[in-house]
Chains A and B, each alone.
Chain A
Amino acid sequence: MAGYAISLQELTKDYSVGFWRPRPVRALNKVSLDVNTGEVLAYLGPNGAGKTTTLKLLMQLIYPTSGGAEILGRPVGDIDTKRRVGYLPELPYFYDNLTAEELLWYFGGLFGLSGPDAKRRAATLLDRVGLEAERRRRLRNYSKGMLQRVGLAEALINDPEVVFLDEPMSGLDPVGRRQIRELIQSLRDDGRTIVFSSHILSDAEALCTRVAIMAQGTLVAVGHLSDLEFKTLGWELVVTGSDTQALTSLGLDAVKQGQGGRFVVDVPVHRHPDELLPLLASEGFSIVALTPIHESLEDYFVRHVTRHASTAAGSHELNETPQTATSSPKR
């Protein structure tokens, strides 16, 4: 018994599209995947890949056409399991007339929390997501970013062992994204199992232990991020310093002048930052930010899917199969 926190077995979902002559459209094609307890899995894929469909199947908002899934050893939809699971839907929408506090009290009550317990937890969570000050305002006055945080608080109100987050970073500014990242990290440190979906690769990098990549309803790759061959196309470097001439003398051409004496440089892939940074320092530049530019997930898929198109359809694991996962969950 593997004791996986989450286990998908050939999970398949077809939709009927069209009114007069409905044709089935396969949104999810025999996805099999296991997630270990305490793991953080990034569920990546372009829009329409089936990420949200998977999460909805796991929360039993929709029913599978075939195949199945288990959470914490019980089949999906088991009521007691739902008490131990948290879910943040994509683009959450709430009851306009309630305040953030009241919303959490309500949902806490649905989990069976007593009044005082719910209140206490709500206060803690709102603090943790940074909404302590606005907790008495009606939700209709909240910005998108604030709503996203309320959604997160809601996903955690029952202190879940397993948390599903559908596009948790959407609608947030960079500061917000960083806060959410830190939050997810602290959840990981608590020992919870986390699955979050995204269509942006860099979201995954700081956080996850493993990555599962979806495309057109099929699981294309599963594995550690470092083991997946994402091509780096270059870096974006932001520095402050003297002038552009010094930069061009280092062979960096694509320089844009930013605000406040900053320069934004596109570093081509053959100029590795390891050798570049000391040179910049010696010219008197200080580094503000260095961000790798990966190939997009779309490009990755195109590469891999066309490469594997001749072989059988289904999940293509690059260097692991779920049954033989042995690497430790934490990075």
Chain B
Amino acid sequence: MTVVVRIAAHVFKESVRDKVLYNLVLFAVMLMAASYLIGQLSAGQDVKIIKDLGLAATQVFGLFIAVFIGIGLVSKEVERRSIYSLLSKPVRRHELILGKYAGLVLTLAVNITVMAMALYLVLGYMSWTETEEFKQNWETPATDPALLQALFLIFIQLMLVTAVALFFSTFSSPILSAVLTFGLYVVGHFNTDLRNFENIVDSQAVGILAGVVYYLLPNLAPFDVKAQVVHAQPISFGYMALTSGYAGAYIGALLLAAIFIFSRRDFK
């Protein structure tokens, strides 16, 4: 197991050296600039808008990190042939996959944590500079702890996207892996429409097919609770548990498939 840990630590270090974490600086700057500028434009909605913006940006930045580092985990190493060095060590092939995955998840976790802190700082500042009377009209407090629920589900979703990217990366080129992963990300948000297909479409076969595809493809829309959190709708623990459980099972399947493909592959 320590091999997995070492590989994970190396992936994290590579990410840091690749200046991935500089995206955090961009995030913080953007949030602060936005909070300053939109205050005048939005008729008192600036806290809501900052929450929306902060959560959305966390998701988008995290998505790019998940995809671009995710595909590099295996694809790029195979392309550049640095994989030979790794595989000639006493590292079992599945340990390599698991270590790479753990390293990227760690990078994402650090990224999201820092973004969460930055977001709360900005919201805290906005709250501090606002009058009590005005604050009474907010649906939720500025530094609402429920934001953490949204951030948690964003993190879980990104773990799933990372697993997808890693899976594609075990057998296709970096570019193709990126395209496929982004593609699945987009499709994953249209998934809910598939469920209602059978109600709209006449042909039963098409409805069943749509249903099968719905359950097969990753369904990403339920991870998005950003709007609910901003509007003070509670998110039950049961919902979070089931959605996380879905992600966990799906991630397990993807990692298993990745390990299967990777273990049997020739590295010419």
Interface residues of A (CB under 8 A from B): 15, 56, 59-63, 79-80, 82-83, 85, 87, 89, 91-95, 97-98, 106-107, 109-112, 154
**Structural contact, B89 and A111, CB atoms closer than 8 A:** yes
B82: chain A residues within 8 A (beta carbon): 92-95
Grouping DSSP codes into helix (H, G, I), strand (E, B) and loop, the A interface class, with mixed when no group exceeds half, is loop
Q: What bracket does the count of chain B residues touching chain A fall in?
A: 20 to 34
B264: chain A residues within 8 A (beta carbon): 63
Min CB distance, B172 to chain A, in Å?
14
Closest CB pairs A-B (n = 10): A97-B17, A62-B266, A87-B88, A82-B90, A89-B84, A110-B89, A61-B267, A59-B88, A93-B82, A83-B90
In chain B, residues 244-268, which have Cβ atoms closer than 8 Å to a Cβ of chain A? 264, 266-268
B18: chain A residues within 8 A (beta carbon): 97
Which residue in chain B gives the minimum CB-CB distance to A59? B88
| Neighbour of B6 across the interface among A89, A95, A110, CB < 8 A | A110
Q: How far is the CA of A109 from the CA of B3 in the complex (A)?
A: 8
A110: chain B residues within 8 A (beta carbon): 3, 6-7, 86, 89-91
Given A56-B267, A62-B268, A110-B3; 8 other pairs, CB 8 A cutoff: A15-B266, A56-B84, A79-B90, A79-B92, A89-B81, A93-B82, A98-B17, A111-B90
B84: chain A residues within 8 A (beta carbon): 56, 59, 61, 87, 89, 92
Q: How far is the CA of A56 from the CA of B82 in the complex (A)?
A: 14
Most chain A CB within a 10 A radius of its CB, from B13, B84, B268: B84
Min CB distance, A220 to chain B, in Å?
23
Interface residues of B (CB under 8 A from A): 2-3, 6-7, 10, 13-14, 17-18, 80-82, 84-92, 264, 266-268
With A80-B90, A106-B6, A111-B89 as contacts: A91 and B266 at CB distance below 8 Å: no
With A82-B90, A106-B10, A111-B90 as contacts: A63 and B266 at CB distance below 8 Å: yes
**Structural contact, B90 and A154, CB atoms closer than 8 A:** no
Q: How far is the CA of A39 from the CA of B81 in the complex (A)?
A: 29
Min CB distance, B254 to chain A, in Å?
24
Min CB distance, A196 to chain B, in Å?
15
A87: chain B residues within 8 A (beta carbon): 84, 88
Which residue in chain B gives the minimum CB-CB distance to A57? B266
Min CB distance, A219 to chain B, in Å?
21
Q: How far is the CA of A287 from the CA of B89 in the complex (A)?
A: 47
B14: chain A residues within 8 A (beta carbon): 95, 97
**Structural contact, A91 and B81, CB atoms closer than 8 A:** yes
Q: How far is the CA of A95 from the CA of B82 in the complex (A)?
A: 7
Which residue in chain A gives the minimum CB-CB distance to B99? A110
